[in-house]
Amino acid sequence: MSIKSDLLAIGHTAFDYIIRVDKFPEPNSSITINKMKHLHGGAAANVAVVGSKLGIKTSLISAVGDDFLYSSYKLLMEDLNINLNHLIHVKDENTSTAFVHTDSNNDQVSYFYWGASSEFKNTPVNPKAIENTEVIHLATGDPSFNYRSSLIAKENDKIVSFDPGQDLHIYDNKTLKSVIENTDIIFGNQFEINTILDRLNLNIDSLRNLGPKIVIKTEGEKGSSIYSDEKIKINSIYRPAVDPTGAGDSFRAGFFRYYLKGESLEKSAQLASSVSSFIVEELGCQTNIPTLESAIKRMNENYK
């Protein structure tokens, strides 16, 4: 039996090693690690987990290895009623693993082992997974799989959201443009949006004419900017940042919690900002996920 969902996240599920250092080492040298934790992550999985905890009915398409099948991560997703029927199990391989290093300035350097995710490019997209959801969120993952997913989504009149994130560098310009043409909403931080504009020789207006009618650019402590029929500026909610990892993914999940209910872009982004402000307070992408009630309370306290 097909399971319907509000939001389908496509992309990485990963095991994360979150590492804090004072500074990054020079080549041929080493540095002391101040803190390290082994946590749950992966951009698509982050969106699915945070979204589910906020009350969104979510599904997930990720390629996972043998180590995921009996893991606490899978048990968590099952407890949250995330639809895992369309996971891609790659035998004799490990699930993607991220080593995220953050220094005292909150700058990050990441090393990512694709592992099972390398099989995305050889795997056909299951149309049933897309037909039974409202919004398709293309997170970090294989460019060809994301492109093929975007085609099926548009053929079925689904809302397509695109967040290439730190995998932007593996998209060639043709594939990047093709995915964007099938996209309704594009998310990115300041660097990522500017990189897309530079590589495709666009400005915000021509980017929106290419495909996405909504462009959402997050700008750290400066908040976020939404480009649609008008530009909307959303101030950030300042919280002392212990770890910025996963803030962007939680922002997307928070945004969709309201957007799927018909709230305005401004209100949706305000809730998104509130949700992400909880995530940065603790180490890890899924360590400090707020309840919907807590996120709304902080939102109301900061946006009058």
Does 24 reside within a domain?
no
Does 23 reside within a domain?
no
Taking only the tens of pLDDT, the chain with its 304 residues reads 457 789 999 999 999 888 899 999 999 999 999 988 889 999 999 999 999 999 999 999 999 999 999 999 999 999 999 999 999 999 999 999 988 898 998 788 888 899 999 999 999 999 999 999 999 999 999 999 999 999 999 999 999 999 999 899 999 999 999 999 999 999 999 999 999 999 999 999 999 999 999 999 999 888 999 999 999 999 999 887 777 778 899 999 999 999 999 999 999 999 999 999 998 888 778 888 999 999 999 999 999 7
Does 132 reside within a domain?
yes
Does 182 reside within a domain?
yes
State the pLDDT at residue 2.
58
CATH number, residue 181: 3.40.1190.20
Does 105 reside within a domain?
no
Does 76 reside within a domain?
yes
Residue 132, domain extent: 5-13+43-97+117-302
- Give me the number of domains the chain comprises: 1
Which residues is 100 bridged to in the sheet? Answer: 18, 110
Residues annotated as catalytic are 249
Does 33 reside within a domain?
no
Does 67 reside within a domain?
yes
